[in-house]
Structure 1
Amino acid sequence: MWTQLNQFDDILLESTDDGIAKLTINRPEVRNAFRPKTVNEML
């Protein structure tokens, strides 16, 4: 079961109880293109 960790504008960050994390770029309107804000949210 995935649990959302934080609220961001450009990414979705989820984890499992086992400590596995999943980061999803969530900008479908621009085909998930990176911008400086996207990179900053991943740091």
Structure 2
Amino acid sequence: ARKNFGSKLGTTLYRLGAASKEIHRQVKGQKSVKFLVQMAAKLIERIN
């Protein structure tokens, strides 16, 4: 069970990393606080 949890955590961290890279890429295109807040909300929803 512990090994499974570890891989699940690793996958979540990997997705977070990929998502943050995507956010950085998009933020270069449009530096909008509202946009950032929406992206953060989507990320939190995905994690929960």
Sort the TM-score into its range (normalised by shorter chain): 0.3 to 0.5
Question: Which has a greater percent of strand?
Answer: 1
TM-score computed with the length of structure 2 as normaliser: 0.35
More helix by share: 2
Give the number of the structure whose alpha-carbon radius of gyration is greater: 2
Q: Which has the higher contact order (CA 8 A, sep 6+)?
A: 2
